[in-house]
């Protein structure tokens, strides 16, 4: 039987507010345990929440970016359950009246095709603290620094049909929230976390199969692996005559498998009700208009513009527009040199390679966009050749000069295009290589093409790489053939 | 000194008749002598009070003192106080010292008043007799075999016995007004949102409101002016400006339209109480007010609605008492569930557990709409009843409680206890202000007249109450206990 996979994602995005969603405590990552938790975060008696306006603005910006309806009135509810790292015994969330209503996101697949994934809603909520099970000799430590950190939970419709689509969706969300600057999107630090709902159904069947929810899948790669495992598990289960039960499962990246956490029967009754300590959030049109006017150009728009106006390939446009930092770097390089294709090649090639090797983000690139643009300009105007350009790049990377021109001058890399000078070097090489010349002369004509490489190399060496390779090639051929 | 009202004490401090230190020492001495019998205080902070009194006297000497500087007060043990235990009448918080002051406490400190200590109360403000305190019941100074009312029973008894000139209470379903009535003092529950709830241990967040309890409406006016106002730390506190409550006390009442809700004079109302209330209304007529009967048709739904909404909120508000971070923790828990269940089973009293169970049940899947959603609809109807009535009249009057103070241990059945709040509870559901003023006696036990106004009509309520107190002396009566034991 042919099976179809159905996937829906709940993505928790940590919003980049400076203070927590309901208190003034800092949200900075990595502080000593329990040093960034105030009376509100600790759930001390008498402490009351006050909504962070910045968190609301960020949620709205996301909603506008995914073409969603923004609720005129949204309401915070309490989700009641006991857990040691949940200080109040409830999580303040939005159950019935979320701030962001239905919207949609376009994802791009590896073959360049696009697909629209519908957003069911997105709501604001507070994060819990952390339970630490190591280093406490059988006891559990609680760190409440994270308690009260604002989260935007983005719930998709079950519109994805493969692990690849799910990963592409997650990347699209990542791209949007980082473009908006509403999250640092740092998955390693938990700034984006994902719950995956997976079910399978025979191809052609309309009704959904029973789904399993896989909790806390924290990287793009894990999302794909967790889904792959889960799909296989469910299909095997059904084909062996069993049936999938609705349950919550955990993904174990070390063993590459999902494990049952709790079944539907064991599920909590969260006793949601409106939080009486917080007023409903009422947003007017002027506020929405203001935020809309502040929206940056979003990844989908950039992608389209890069393709249509700058002539980038679909692939290049997609890769470069995925990150706002990379897109803006690319645009600055392009502004400097005026050649989009070359700019894209350098940003994705030499620059990305060097950044990856040193594990740097493009925002921390040692080479500025202006420097790179100037470097490309020098290639375009034939001041240097491609080989020298790589050397200039390396020198700029190492901080050996302020600009490409400085380095070209200092290292004498200016391309030699003077025919006389090149001819002199060629004559010298031919004079110094009698054996190779003899060999060239004695070879079959069709093999001479290959042999010419040796002479080109010698000339380039003699010029310390500065001779124009096309000129060298042409002149060498003429001169060698004259010896026949 | 204790015979004086807070207003008179402020004048005496100003004229230099005595110092704040003398005054504070005087009340501390009375507490020392009498409170063994009353049990109205959980904590007495004598040393701190005397120190603050000295600072107050210095401010007076320097001429920088505001009108209430050096006035001793007491705080219901539900207001968080830095460095002083805040128990909320519960074993659960017997070891709890808040690292901050409630906004009300901050404002009172800023006004220069001096806290003598924290008063006894029903555990987590759940009760109408003060018999639900972990620290034992409070006695009514008018009759030591009677309850003082609840949940602010300690505050009411202490003021009535002259152990302190005024005290702060909180009122979720009548917890200021009913004990004020039982103890023969004046108690005001402000409009929801008028006084910040920050630092007040929550019982039912959408109903809780703090207010003053004192000898007179005038005293309450002084205190409300201090504690009212917007607080950025409480999202439900309103930004509306605070009027001068003292200035408007003497506005004439001629033309005042009084409504008597017929539902407040029905079955179950003690005849002595009814008589006292009707006598009081006659006093108002003599002051130029007109009186008419009005109807609040949904009154009989108030108690059922309240006992859905308040426990629902309480069940959630009290989840934080889990033995993990503060408060009572059971000995040697063997796992997490054991830690939770034993800490909570040991830390909470019977009534608190009952309300947590009720609230947990009504919020549960499958019951939520039938209880919580329905109760919220009823709440809107009750609010509308009041708004409709205030279209026709300026204030409503009736009894604060169907009976005078009952005997300790008399109400064994929780529902009969809940029915105590029949005239007060709707006021919290509607969010409007209410005041209880002394209006007579029944067999030596005080009777309270309740006056209700529309949202933010505190100035009018205080004016109406003050004019009554100028015409009568019920509020100046003192229990014999005040002289015998203290």
Encode pLDDT of B455-465 as tens digits.
999 999 999 99
For the cut 80, the answer to whether the pLDDT of residue A267 exceeds it is no
Q: Average of pLDDT values for B407-423? A: 91
Q: What is the pLDDT of residues B322-340, one digit of tens each?
A: 999 999 999 999 999 999 9
Q: Does B97 contact chain A (CB < 8 Å)?
A: no
User: Is B151 designated active site?
Assistant: yes
Size of interface A-B (CB pairs under 8 A): 96
pLDDT at residue A233, as a whole number: 95
Beta strands, E only, A148-242: 150-156, 192-202, 212-217
Query: B427: pLDDT confidence band, cut at 50, 70 and 90?
Result: very high
Task: Report all structural domains of chain A as residue ranges with CATH numbers, in order of start.
Answer: 3-288 (no CATH), 297-411 (no CATH), 419-482 (1.10.10.410)
What distance in Å separates the CA atoms of residue A462 and residue A286, rounded to the nearest whole number?
69
| Chain A residues within 8 A of B88 when measuring between CB atoms | 45
Longest dimension (CA), chain B: 70
Query: Chain A within 8 Å of B334 (Cβ-Cβ)?
Result: no
Strand order in the sheet with B209-214: B41-44, B114-119, B72-76, B166-171, B209-214, B186-189, B434-442, B445-452, B395-399, B257-261, B290-294
Evaluate if residue A453 carries a pLDDT over 90: no
**Segment (H or E) for B301:** none
Closest to A99 (Cα-Cα) out of A287, A269, A271 = A287
Q: What secondary structure letter does DSSP report for B127?
A: -
Residue range B6-253+456-484, CATH number: 3.90.1300.10
Reduced to 3 states (helix: H, G, I; strand: E, B; else coil), residue A447 is helix
Query: Which two structure tokens, joined as six digits, stand for A296?
Result: 């940056």
Whole-angstrom distance, CA of residue B159 vs CA of residue B479: 11
Q: Indicate the pairing of strand B257-261 with strand B166-171.
A: unpaired
Using left for φ > 0, alpha for ψ between -120 and 50, and beta otherwise, residue B43 falls in beta
Which residues, 6+ apart, have CB-to-CB distance to B366 below 8 Å?
Answer: none
Residue ranges of chain A whose CB lies within 8 Å of a chain B CB:
39, 42-51, 78, 80, 82, 84, 87-90, 142, 269, 271-273, 276-279
State pTM to two decimals. Answer: 0.90
B169 burial via Cβ count (<10 Å: 0-12, 13-18, 19+): buried
Q: Is pLDDT of B486 > 70?
A: no
| B175 given a catalytic annotation | yes
Helices (H), ranges, A348-418: 352-357, 369-380, 386-397, 404-411
Residue-wise pLDDT for B112-153, tens only, equals: 999 999 999 999 999 999 999 999 999 999 999 999 999 999
Least confident of A7-21, A410-424, B83-97, B190-204: A410-424
pLDDT on residue A414: 85
| Strand B72-76 relative to strand B114-119, pairing | parallel
- CB contact (8 A) between residue A90 and residue B197: no
Residue B65, pLDDT > 90, answer no
pLDDT 10s digits, A300-322: 999 999 999 999 998 899 899 98
CA nearest to A365, candidates A373, A355, A353: A355
Strand-pairing partners, residue B73, are B115
Residue A181 zone, left/alpha/beta (φ > 0; ψ -120 to 50; rest): left
- ipTM of the complex, rounded to two decimals: 0.96
**Average pLDDT value for residue range B150-165:** 98
- Exposure string of A43-60, with b = 16+ CB inside 10 Å and e = fewer, is bbbbbbbbbbebbbbbbb
Task: Check CB contact under 8 Å for B326 and A82.
Answer: no
Report the relative pairing of strands B257-261 and B290-294 from DSSP bridges.
parallel
Cα–Cα distances in angstroms (integers) from residue A439 to residues A423, A426, A431, A435, A480, in the given order: 21, 17, 14, 6, 11
Kindly tell me if the per-residue pLDDT of B213 is higher than 90: yes
B76 is catalytic: yes
CB atoms B235 and A279 under 8 Å: yes
Buried-state track B384-402, b at ≥16 Cβ within 10 A, e below 16: ebbeebbeebbbbbbbbbb
CB contact under 8 A, A142 and B205: no
The proportion of chain B whose per-residue pLDDT surpasses 70, expressed as a percent, equals: 100
């Amino acid at each position: 039987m042919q099976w179809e996979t159905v996937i829906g994602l709940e993505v928790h995005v940590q919003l980049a507010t400076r203070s927590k969603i309901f208190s003034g405590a800092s949200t900075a990552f990595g502080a000593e345990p329990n040093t960034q938790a105030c009376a509100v975060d600790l759930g001390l008696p008498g402490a009351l929440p006050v909504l962070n306006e910045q968190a609301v603005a960020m949620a709205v910006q996301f909603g506008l970016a995914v073409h969603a309806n923004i609720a005129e009135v949204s309401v915070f509810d309490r989700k009641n359950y006991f857990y040691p790292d949940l200080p109040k015994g409830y999580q303040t969330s939005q159950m019935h009246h979320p701030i962001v209503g239905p919207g949609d996101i376009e994802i791009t697949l590896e073959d360049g095709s696009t697909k629209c994934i519908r957003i069911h809603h997105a709501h604001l909520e507070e994060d819990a603290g952390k339970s630490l099970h190591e280093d406490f000799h059988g006891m559990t430590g609680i760190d409440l620094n994270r308690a009260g950190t604002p989260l935007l939970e983005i719930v998709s419709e079950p519109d994805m049909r493969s692990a690849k689509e799910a990963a592409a969706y997650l990347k699209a969300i990542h791209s949007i929230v980082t473009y908006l600057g509403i999250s640092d999107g740092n998955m390693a630090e938990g700034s984006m976390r994902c719950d995956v709902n997976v079910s399978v159904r025979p191809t052609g069947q309309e009704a959904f199969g029973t789904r399993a929810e896989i909790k806390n899948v924290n990287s793009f790669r894990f999302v794909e692996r967790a889904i792959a495992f889960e799909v296989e598990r469910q299909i095997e289960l059904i084909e062996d005559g069993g049936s999938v039960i609705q349950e919550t499962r955990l993904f174990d990246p070390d063993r590459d498998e999902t494990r049952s956490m709790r079944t539907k029967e064991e599920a909590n009754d969260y006793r949601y009700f409106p939080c009486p300590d917080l007023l409903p959030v009422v947003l007017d049109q002027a506020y929405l208009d203001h935020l809309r006017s502040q929206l940056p150009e979003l990844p989908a728009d950039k992608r389209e513009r890069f393709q249509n106006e700058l002539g980038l390939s679909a692939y290049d446009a997609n890769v470069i527009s995925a990150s706002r930092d990379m897109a803006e770097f690319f645009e600055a390089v392009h502004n400097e040199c005026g050649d989009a294709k070359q700019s894209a090649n350098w940003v994705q090639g030499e620059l990305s390679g060097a950044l990856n090797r040193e594990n740097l983000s493009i925002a921390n690139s040692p080479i500025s966009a202006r420097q790179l643009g100037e470097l490309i300009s020098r290639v375009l105007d034939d001041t240097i050749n491609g080989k020298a350009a790589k050397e200039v790049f390396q020198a700029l990377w190492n901080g050996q000069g302020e600009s490409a021109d400085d380095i070209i001058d200092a290292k004498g890399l200016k391309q030699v295009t003077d025919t006389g000078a090149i001819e002199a070097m060629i004559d010298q090489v031919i004079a110094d290589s009698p054996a190779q010349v003899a060999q060239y002369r004695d070879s079959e004509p069709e093999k001479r093409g290959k042999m010419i490489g040796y002479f080109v190399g010698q000339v380039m060496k003699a010029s310390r790489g500065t001779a124009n390779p096309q000129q060298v090639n042409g002149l060498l051929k003429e001169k060698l053939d004259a010896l026949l | 000194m204790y015979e004086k009202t807070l207003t008179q004490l402020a004048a005496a401090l100003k004229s230099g008749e005595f110092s704040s230190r003398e005054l504070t020492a005087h009340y501390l001495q009375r507490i020392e002598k009498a409170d063994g019998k009353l049990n109205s205080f959980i904590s007495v902070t004598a040393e701190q009070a005397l120190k603050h009194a000295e600072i107050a006297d210095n401010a007076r000497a320097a001429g920088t003192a505001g009108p209430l500087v050096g006035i001793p007060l007491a705080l219901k043990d539900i207001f968080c106080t830095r460095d002083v235990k805040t128990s909320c009448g519960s074993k659960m918080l017997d070891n709890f010292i808040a690292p901050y002051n409630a906004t009300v406490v901050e404002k009172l400190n800023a006004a220069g008043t001096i806290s003598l200590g924290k008063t006894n109360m029903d555990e987590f403000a759940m009760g109408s007799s003060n018999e639900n305190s972990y620290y034992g019941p409070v006695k009514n100074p008018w009759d030591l075999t009677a309850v003082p009312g609840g949940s602010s029973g300690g505050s009411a008894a202490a003021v009535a016995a002259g152990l302190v000139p005024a005290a702060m209470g909180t009122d979720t379903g009548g917890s200021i007004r009913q004990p004020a009535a039982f103890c023969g003092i004046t108690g005001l529950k402000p409009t929801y949102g008028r006084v910040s709830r920050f630092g007040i241990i929550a019982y039912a967040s959408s109903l809780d409101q703090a207010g003053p309890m004192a000898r007179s409406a005038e005293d309450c006016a002084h205190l409300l002016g201090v504690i009212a106002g917007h607080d950025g730390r409480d999202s439900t506190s309103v930004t509306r400006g605070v009027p001068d409550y003292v200035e408007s006390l003497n506005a004439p009442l001629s033309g005042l339209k009084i409504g008597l809700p017929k539902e407040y004079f029905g079955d179950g109302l003690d005849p002595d109480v009814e008589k006292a209330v009707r006598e009081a209304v006659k006093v108002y007529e003599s002051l130029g007010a007109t009186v008419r009967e009005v109807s609040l048709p949904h009154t009989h739904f108030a108690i059922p609605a309240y006992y859905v909404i308040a426990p629902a909120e309480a069940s959630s508000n009290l989840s934080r008492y889990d033995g993990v971070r503060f408060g009572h923790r059971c000995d040697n828990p063997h796992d997490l569930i054991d830690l939770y269940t034993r800490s909570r089973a040991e830390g909470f009293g019977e009534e608190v557990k009952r309300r947590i169970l009720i609230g947990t049940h009504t919020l549960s899947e499958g019951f939520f709409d039938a209880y919580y959603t329905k109760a919220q609809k009823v709440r809107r109807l009750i609010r509308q009843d009041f708004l409709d009535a205030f279209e026709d009249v300026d204030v409503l009057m009736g009894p604060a409680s169907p009976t005078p103070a009952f005997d300790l241990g008399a109400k064994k059945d929780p529902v009969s206890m809940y029915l105590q709040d029949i005239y007060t509870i709707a006021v919290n559901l509607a969010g409007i202000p209410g005041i209880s003023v002394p209006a007579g006696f029944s067999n030596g036990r005080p009777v309270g007249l309740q006056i209700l106004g529309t949202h933010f009509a505190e100035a009018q309520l205080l004016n109406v109450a003050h004019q009554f107190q100028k015409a009568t002396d019920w509020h100046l009566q003192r229990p014999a206990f005040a002289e015998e034991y203290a």
